[in-house]
Amino acid sequence: MTLSPADEFRHETGPDPRWQETYWFSAGDPLTHCGIDVHLACQPHEGYVEAQITVISPEETVSLGGRSSAHRLRQQIRRRLALPHPPQRP
């Protein structure tokens, strides 16, 4: 398999009814030992998006996810992810 710059963009929807476009993002801070994983799976034939957002810290791991229509998912994220401001570093 050879990757090309076009692989970084959305692909044409395939004929298989189970076809999905998947995005995965991860980030971490080695100083605070905190991180985040975001996984999105767009399923255009079914009209749904599956999302999983996980925030990891030394104290706990919090995960929010589920299957929803794209419109409903945007509303849920706006309501449920009112994240606090990070503490100021000295």
Whole-number Å distance between alpha carbons of 55 and 64? 9
Cα 80–chain centre separation: 14
Terminus-to-terminus CA distance in the chain, angstroms?
Answer: 48
Task: For 35, list phi and psi in degrees, rounded to 5.
Answer: -160, 175
Whole-number Å distance between alpha carbons of 16 and 83? 38
Using a cut of 0.75, tell me whether the model's pTM lies above it.
Answer: no
Largest CA distance in the chain: 55
25 vs 76: which has the higher pLDDT = 25
Which residue is listed with tokens 């605070």?
32
pLDDT tens-digit profile of 36-50?
Answer: 999 988 888 887 888
